[in-house]
Amino acid sequence: MPARPDLAAVILAAGRSSRMGSFKPLLPFGRGTVIERVISTVHEAGVETIRVVVGWNAHLLIPILEHLGVPWVRNERFEEGMYTSVQAGVRDLPTGVAAFFVLPGDMPLVQSATLTRLIAEWDKRPGGILHPCFEGGRGHPPLIASFYIPEILRDAPSGGLRAVLGRHAQDAREVECADPGVLVDLDTPEEYRQSLDK
């Protein structure tokens, strides 16, 4: 896909992976690791501006990100929840970005075609919030206009990013995608094993 300097992606990889029992970003997946697959998916969609948010086990993840040439941001407050990682990533985005994806780093089954479809919908009518859906279920990653960055950085609602975006439901559009991966994250060993069969 052609490069899109006007778009970015924040990949969240700061959590403890406590339910998995192993550090999820570095679990083997395909020819690499889970985090490498997620980064590859974003690159394949033409999005080159990426910020991977690290926290727990950052010392293990940073060398891989630097080898890949992917910028990272350390979230010192990762213990306070995922929303602090969203804020850390968004805060580090360069000026001039019109919109950004937020993609959890444990969702390697999301297809690059899904991001491409969201970008196409954005190009038809820029602005607002685009949510990928599979069979009516809303998933990840949303594509969020940079207009909302000041509010994201200012606020810390108990409901996280979903609560912030929910305040702007009138600005949201749902984009149906033939991608069950938008609903699949790897929280448990069983979910990980199932993902390897897909």
Q: Which domains does the chain have, with CATH numbers?
A: 7-196 (3.90.550.10)
Taking 3-state DSSP, the helix, strand and coil percentages for the chain, each rounded to the nearest 5, stand at 40, 20, 35
Q: How many CB atoms lie within 10 A of CB 138?
A: 15
φ/ψ (deg, to 5) at 8: -145, 170
pLDDT value, residue 194: 81
Give the pLDDT band of residue 193 (cuts 50, 70, 90): confident
Q: How many CB atoms lie within 10 A of CB 114?
A: 22
The mean pLDDT value for 90-95 works out to 95
DSSP type of residue 46? T
51 vs 122: CA distance, rounded Å = 21
The mean pLDDT value for 85-105 works out to 96
First-to-last CA distance in the chain?
24
Residues 2-58 have pLDDT tens digits of 889 999 999 999 988 766 667 889 999 988 999 999 999 999 999 999 999 999 999
Indicate if the pLDDT at residue 75 is higher than 70.
yes
Residues 142-175 have pLDDT tens digits of 999 999 999 999 977 788 899 999 999 999 999 9
Residues 172-186 have pLDDT tens digits of 999 999 999 999 888
